[in-house]
Amino acid sequence: QDRSLPTWIPSTLHYARWGWGVLEPEPGKIDCDFLDRELRQSRESGQQYAFRVMCCSTSRGQPYHPAWLKTVGAKELQAEYGKEAPFPIPDMDDPVVLEKHLDFIRRLGARYDGHPDIDHIDLGSIGWWGEWHLSGSKSAKLPTLENRKRVVDAYLAACPKTPIVMIIGGSECLTYAAQRGAGWRADCHCDMGGF
């Protein structure tokens, strides 16, 4: 759909990032119509699809986690980013949040693992934009290493056929994921030392 892309540069991969709340707008119900439409449009464009799930938005008015989480007793943390007033993000150490999210990953894999139109899935979920950090927040902390490893394990268990790739900012969890078969990638040139 990018009309500015020259015809001599082939676009073979459609990459997207979606909030958990977009993909699971109701408890226990993945929006398969949405994802199937994305996959079909990519295939019709001659592309494969790749995506990342995000749980922590840096924008007060546009959360990535599902609105229904609070209704099932899940805890939220108050975080800040830049000049934003404190806003809620899911507490990924909370047993309810963690259980619901791990179940979501399991069901996502049960439906889409090995799908011929999916090139890879980014191992996201943790931190701002699913990038495994909460930089710029003084109050919000990453989940425990044990719980971060549980998220890694959930993605790898849910998708034994579809390649799982992790952004290089994941520190010890990147090593953990790579040792278990995940690939890795940089998000931009800055990830190669530009900061």
State pLDDT tens for residues 8-36. 777 889 999 999 999 999 999 999 999 99
What was the pLDDT predicted at 191? Answer: 57
Is residue 192 over pLDDT 70? no
145-158 vs 172-179: helix crossing angle, rounded to 10: 30
102 vs 195, higher pLDDT: 102
Mind listing the pLDDT tens digit for each residue in 124-182? Answer: 999 999 999 998 888 889 999 999 999 999 999 999 999 999 998 878 999 999 999 99
What is the reported pTM?
0.91
| Long-range contact set of residues 137-141: C-beta below 8 Å, sequence gap at least 24 | 137/79, 137/80, 137/81, 138/80, 139/77, 139/78, 139/79, 139/80, 139/86, 140/56, 140/77, 140/78, 140/79, 140/80, 140/89
